[in-house]
Amino acid sequence: MKEIKKKNWYVFYTSPRAEKKVNEYLLSLGYESFLLLKSEFKIWRNRQRKLIKSPLFPSYI
């Protein structure tokens, strides 16, 4: 009978606005990570528009 290797899930609380860097760091170490991003257009006072990808759950990976 094959032995089933169980994977554990962990939630990381990060510094504000550091989710993408922490995700890249975990991937570089060989871990499998999950960071859900949402895309939205931001409009600044000078009418500049930019597509921003921000995490769905801020400060968490």
What is the C-alpha to C-alpha distance for residues 40 and 42, in angstroms, rounded to an integer?
6
Residue 1 is predicted with a pLDDT of 65
| Averaged confidence pLDDT in the chain | 91
pTM over 0.85: no
Residue of 21, 17, 25 whose CA lies nearest to 57: 17
pLDDT tens, 2-54? 777 888 889 999 999 999 999 999 999 999 999 999 999 999 888 899 999 99
